[in-house]
């Protein structure tokens, strides 16, 4: 799983939902989407697969209001982070990844360790404790 290939695939998925999702060279928010107006953009230098997948789920879930990206108290933001992590983890597994390579997954996807641990059926660090 290559980061740029993954970004390209995610961007195509967003565009296939009818969103005019553009690559720009600098964007303060890194990535934004307006699911109602079907427009969005991402920073080509800084956007990670996780950030783009997060916006993808705002569109899929039909979220109407733009909220602060890092507001952990907002359930929409939490849901999009969790869905993005699950979605990317499924792609990683499909492409031959495994739990032993979860660190590689985090590096490629830009996902947070915290969210990965929440979605994994087995805590990746539990084997270390047992060993």
CB of 72 to Zn ion, least distance (A): 11
Contacts 24+ apart (CB under 8 A), 45-49: 47/7, 48/3, 48/7, 48/109, 48/110, 49/3, 49/6, 49/7, 49/10, 49/88, 49/108, 49/109, 49/110, 49/111
Report the nearest approach of Zn ion to the CB of residue 73 (Å). Answer: 13
Nearer to Zn ion, 80 or 116 (CB): 80
The DSSP bridge pattern shows strands 39-43 and 20-24 to be parallel
Shortest Å, Cβ 53 to Zn ion: 11
Q: Which is nearer to Zn ion, 29 or 99 (CB)?
A: 29
Kindly tell me which of 35 and 92 has the beta carbon lying closer to Zn ion. 35
Closest separation between CB of residue 4 and Zn ion, Å?
Answer: 22
End-to-end Cα separation, the chain, in angstroms: 29
Closest to Zn ion by CB, 30 vs 106, is 30
Region 55-94 residues binding Zn ion, contact defined as CB under 5 A: 77
Number of residues that bind Zn ion (CB under 5 A): 1
């Amino acid at each position: 799983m290559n980061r740029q290939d993954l970004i390209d695939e995610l961007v195509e998925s967003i565009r296939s939902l009818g969103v005019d999702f553009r690559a720009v060279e600098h964007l303060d928010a890194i990535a934004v989407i307006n699911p109602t107006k079907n427009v969005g953009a991402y920073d080509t230098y800084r956007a990670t697969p996780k950030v783009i997948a997060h916006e993808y789920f705002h569109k899929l879930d039909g979220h109407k209001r733009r909220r602060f990206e890092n507001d952990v108290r907002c359930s929409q933001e939490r849901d999009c982070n969790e869905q993005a992590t699950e979605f990317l983890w499924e792609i990683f597994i499909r492409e031959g990844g495994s739990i032993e390579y979860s660190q590689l997954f985090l590096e490629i996807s830009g996902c947070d360790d915290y969210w990965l641990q929440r979605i994994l059926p087995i805590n990746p660090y539990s084997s270390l404790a047992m060993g």
